[in-house]
Structure 1
Amino acid sequence: MSTNKETGSYYTPYDLVEFMVKYLKRQGQDFSNVLEPSAGDGRFISWLLPVSGHLKAIELFGNKVAEIRDKYTFQENLQVEQNDFIEYAMNSEEKYSLIIGNPPYINIKLMKKEELELAKEMCEEEGLRTSIMQNMWLAFVVGAMRLLEMEGSIFFVLPMEFLQVQYAEKLREHLEKKFNTIHIISFRKQIFSEIEQEVCLVYLTNRARSIPYILYEIYEDAISEKPVYINKIQKSKPLKKWSNAILSDEEINLLKDVSEEYEKVNMIGDTAPGIVTGGNKYFILTQEQVQEYECQEYTIPILQKSSFVNENTVIIDEHTMNGLQRRQKPMYLLDLADVQEVEMSARLLAYLNKIREEKTGDIRLIDRYKCANRSPWYGVPIVKKGGVIFFKRYHVLPRVYINRANIHTTDAGYHIRLKEGLDKDSVVFCFYNSLTLAQCEFQGRYYGGGVSELVPSEFKALPIPYSKIEREDIEKLDRMFREKNQVEEIVSFVNSKTLMLDMEENTIIDIENIRRKLVKRRL
């Protein structure tokens, strides 16, 4: 696979190009007027030429255009044009029966100012918020919509994140309104093996007299002709996250209906992020640094990262914090908001004077937004702790902990300050049932390597079948985590103390199967 990080070019494997063209032929695609908007080295062209009435290839870079023209000198049905696709989409009157390709993946931070402004202008003209424009591939999707015939089709290689990230949610809604036929194709084997970028194929079209639907197909790899899994969504539209089209309408409805019977996390307490320091590596010290700067009396213990805590437990206690201290982890937050400089040791004052000039890029620490907008600049605001802590990113199971150490965290962690009368140990225990865990997968998103993420608003919306749990059961659950029991054993045990109190066994089995199906797509 050839790549060019500066241009966002990750050239499509030849077997995937072949897969896409063959797939379109099976769909009865109209190839009368085809556009390849990001031709690159021209690898789509050789497969498209034999089936296309007319094929236009657009490429930004002149050397690539010259190579394609040299290779296909006598192809009368091929037109190669050097152009910026966004500019072309904004100005062209041409309409196409098919637009196919692998758009460049360029993060907004690397896009040229004029490119970004034009892309945002295009979004506004299409009735979309400019905030969706976080990557160049989004601009290509929007641009392609402008150039389609009435019943034309788009078939793009897109990052898997498109199906689920929040910033693309409004675009997905827009596409559901614009196209009555949406196919999502993913692969069990990684397509781009040299980069950590999971991709999918997205096919968008309008079929006459067709009931709107989303089709989700999974193939073993790009040389497979038949899917190993296929599912069709019709009733559960619009679908907030297209990655959930792996579930049937019936499964989505079951998840929704059962969830409505339980309180949500936001009903059991207030949830808020931990402490925002404005520079963790400067304001959170190791024990050795605390001794060096003679500032023990001006520090409070803090948990900086979820990676500092063992996944195989549900309890953060003094044993946890002692372990961090033994491993010399930074775990002491400078609490200096009410401390005058004259009260500080000479060593601490020298340290503050040193770090204030430390730069990230061209910005000094003292000039960073958080530091510049508080007085004194080193006075980190301390927020309230909660009895339950959760970390938004996780691998196999969500990271939810009983805060027995009464510890602060940075904003990597979120704290639940429970309503009076609720037991923090029981809340964490009850979290690990099939329904809540299935909703974690349904509401969240996942990234390369199988890491899943829940933003606070999604976490707050999770149903939780809370009941008071006996201490011996809570200790058993923690023991099961520490002994690395199978996830299915842990969930089954929690189900027996929660869902089974008021739910039919067959319903619990169905929900557990949904959870496993959702987990399997990312692990």
Structure 2
Amino acid sequence: MAEQLRSDGVEERKARGAFFTPPEIARFMVDWAVRSKDDAVLEPSCGEAAFLLPAAQRLHELGATRRAVGKQLHAGDIHHDSVAQAHQVLASEGFSAQIEVGDFFLKDSAANFDAVIGNPPYVRYQDFSGASRAASLQAALRQGVRLTQLASSWAAFTVHASAFLRPTGRLALVIPAELLSVKYAAQIRRFLLDRFASVRLVLFETLVFPGVLEDVVLLLAEGSGGAQSFEVFQARTAQDLATTLPKQWLKFEPAPDEKWTGALVSSDAYRLYDEAAAGEDFEAMSEWGATYLGAVTGHNDFFTLTQADVEQWKLPPSELVRISPPGARHLRGLSYSTHDWRAMAAAGERCLLFAPGAELSRAARRYIAHGETLGVPTGYKCRVRDPWWTVPMVAKPDLLMPYMNHERPRLVRNGAGVQVLNSLYGVKLKVSRKKLGQELLPLAMLNSLTLLGAEIVGRAYGGGLLKHEPKEASRLPLPSETVLAQVATPLKDVQKAVGALLARNDLPACVAIVDTIVLRQHLGWSEARLGAIREARVALMQRRLTRGKGKHGQD
């Protein structure tokens, strides 16, 4: 009946973040949250009774009279028509509820409920503004959660809804799967573990909301006092959910502020990944060396120079430093050589950095004066430097690492011995590991376990880009020093062939070669084990790319 009563169209519902919940999901969540005929139940964004009706039915089945249901069942919605239709849906089945029209974020919290259930409105931060947004941020702040300007509406809703629960109460919400991975949701992940005694998530292998590309998770949280872990159950479809709680849950114990991305892959695949990444055959990249951001010039157009610029200003070589040109499109292979650098310089790329010493040449003084006429010293980074034209340099890296990628992370040998700007990370290897790591890590990292790790520790940005902050990059699982030394000869034998395949952008062929040498032949992995890791990596990558098609920069 609810379907027949909807008066507004898809675009109108989408604008206010209303996506109606499949009945299998609503019933499953209600049966979990409502456990006694005396439970007081709140549905803060009732829509057209997708949760209210099964909640009324559940209370009645547990022994509550219809009159009692009308007193115990509370709801609200900002949309007048939805509230009217919710009343009609309940009345058609002989039930009633206390339903208010209004903005949930303006409702004073009172811990009077045994269960809070529902599907919060999902409005992305770009469209979530004005008084309602301000009220949402204040509501979250009252619970000790300071949300960023990138937070979508569901984040504050989840925090505010928790404030209505009794200490033993239960929270059952449908929320976006971005809870697990995006940066701004770190506060929500931390809040859930701090606030509740138990946090469980139900994930789906397929999209379960008709016509909606957003992945969702079912949040089932209860009790008070804090939890060290959360548990996950993976269902294939909404229809797979029985009315009883699943029995097999996978436990995760995340480090503080760590993303929960690993929960997006199958339980078996994550166990295999976790065992391998924590074992003696793999090490975090931090064991190989330090990862850091390149130098910040404050004004690339002034400080980075082409060969023609150098000739025009007659700048001497002593006041120039060779750099990897801004950007990362030229770093596709295993090595960036002196030949590569010279070719780019000859092609007019900005391959040199203006870096005069304490004693300035006459040409440098002229160029600095030119910069002053352009207003370069007034920029923030230049303004706080003394003198403004001295760019603080970082250690010359052994490996170059682009931190934004579509398909895979990249380590590139710094064969040209160039400096890096902040469009790249530098990796400075430990002295004892430098020769082995510089030569073979760019090749050895093209294995399926490292590539899966990149998806798990990284974060998705607009357009499906995969980004690694320095701390995240330092956690990439790489073959250990011992393993890499043991497979050095066969890897060197295929280095040229893999380089040629990378030039043709044939990553699967490259990964197959490295997997065979490192994982299959040396470590003795079975094809089934390797297949599970590969499938998990593809699943996370495809999820990221699919999400990127519909979002722009939300993280």
User: Is TM (by shorter chain) over 0.5?
Assistant: yes
Gap change, CA 1:415 and 1:346, over 3 Å in 2: closer
Gap change, CA 1:402 and 1:179, over 3 Å in 2: same
Q: Which amino acid aligns with 1:142?
A: V
Structure 2 residue 57 is matched with structure 1 residue 57: no
Structure 2 residue 390 is matched with structure 1 residue 379: yes
Distance 2:415 2:84 in 1: 70
Task: Give the structure with the larger strand fraction.
Answer: 1
Identity %: 17
1:409 is aligned, of 407, 420, 426, to: 420
1:81-128 CA distance string (max 9 Å, x none): 33461x435x4354262332224433799788965873563243xxx6
Aligned partner of residue 303 in structure 1, secondary structure: coil
Partner of 1:145: 162
Shift of 1:417: 1.9
TM-score norm. by structure 1 comes to 0.75
Aligned pairs for 1:291-302 within 5 A: 295=315, 297=317, 298-302=319-323
Distance 1:331 1:399 in 2: 20
Partner of 2:221: 205
Q: 2:306–2:349: 8 Å Cα contact kept in structure 1? A: yes
Q: Which amino acid aligns with 2:239?
A: E
Structure 2 residue 405 is matched with structure 1 residue 394: yes
Partner of 1:428: 442
Structure 2 residue 11 is matched with structure 1 residue 2: yes
Distance 1:485 1:279 in 2: 36
Aligned partner of residue 239 in structure 2, secondary structure: coil
Aligned partner of residue 510 in structure 1, secondary structure: helix
Q: Which amino acid aligns with 2:399?
A: V
Shift of 1:414: 1.8
Partner of 1:163: 180
Aligned partner of residue 26 in structure 2, secondary structure: helix
Shift of 1:57: 1.8
2:125 is aligned, of 100, 106, 118, to: 106
Distance 2:329 2:214 in 1: 27
Aligned partner of residue 377 in structure 1, secondary structure: coil
Structure 2 residue 341 is matched with structure 1 residue 321: yes
Structure 2 residue 496 is matched with structure 1 residue 452: no
Gap change, CA 1:246 and 1:511, over 3 Å in 2: farther
Q: 1:273–1:410: 8 Å Cα contact kept in structure 2? A: yes
Aligned partner of residue 479 in structure 2, secondary structure: coil
* Greater CA drift, 446-455 or 472-481: 446-455
Q: 1:392–1:454: 8 Å Cα contact kept in structure 2? A: yes
2:279 is aligned, of 249, 260, 274, to: 260
Aligned partner of residue 374 in structure 2, secondary structure: helix
Aligned pairs for 1:171-182 within 5 A: 171-176=188-193, 178=196, 180=198, 182=200
Cα RMSD of the aligned pairs, angstroms, is 4.2
Shift of 1:436: 2.6
TM-score norm. by structure 2 comes to 0.71
Shift of 1:275: 1.0
Partner of 2:547: none
Larger radius of gyration: 2
In structure 2, runs of 5+ residues without a counterpart are 1-9, 57-72, 224-228, 543-555
Q: 1:152–1:205: 8 Å Cα contact kept in structure 2? A: yes
Distance 1:51 1:172 in 2: 28
Shift of 1:176: 4.2
1:245-266 CA distance string (max 9 Å, x none): 2446654444334333044322
Distance 1:109 1:372 in 2: 36
1:217 is aligned, of 234, 240, 257, to: 234
Distance 1:479 1:237 in 2: 42
Shift of 1:432: 2.0
Aligned pairs for 1:32-111 within 5 A: 35-37=42-44, 39=45, 44-53=47-56, 54-59=73-78, 65=79, 68=82, 77-83=97-103, 85=105, 87-88=106-107, 91-95=109-113, 97-100=115-118, 101-106=120-125
Distance 1:337 1:18 in 2: 71
Structure 2 residue 370 is matched with structure 1 residue 366: no
Gap change, CA 1:404 and 1:226, over 3 Å in 2: same
Kindly tell me the number of residue pairs found equivalent between the two proteins.
480
Partner of 1:522: 541
Aligned partner of residue 378 in structure 1, secondary structure: coil
Shift of 1:163: 0.1
Distance 2:413 2:350 in 1: 21
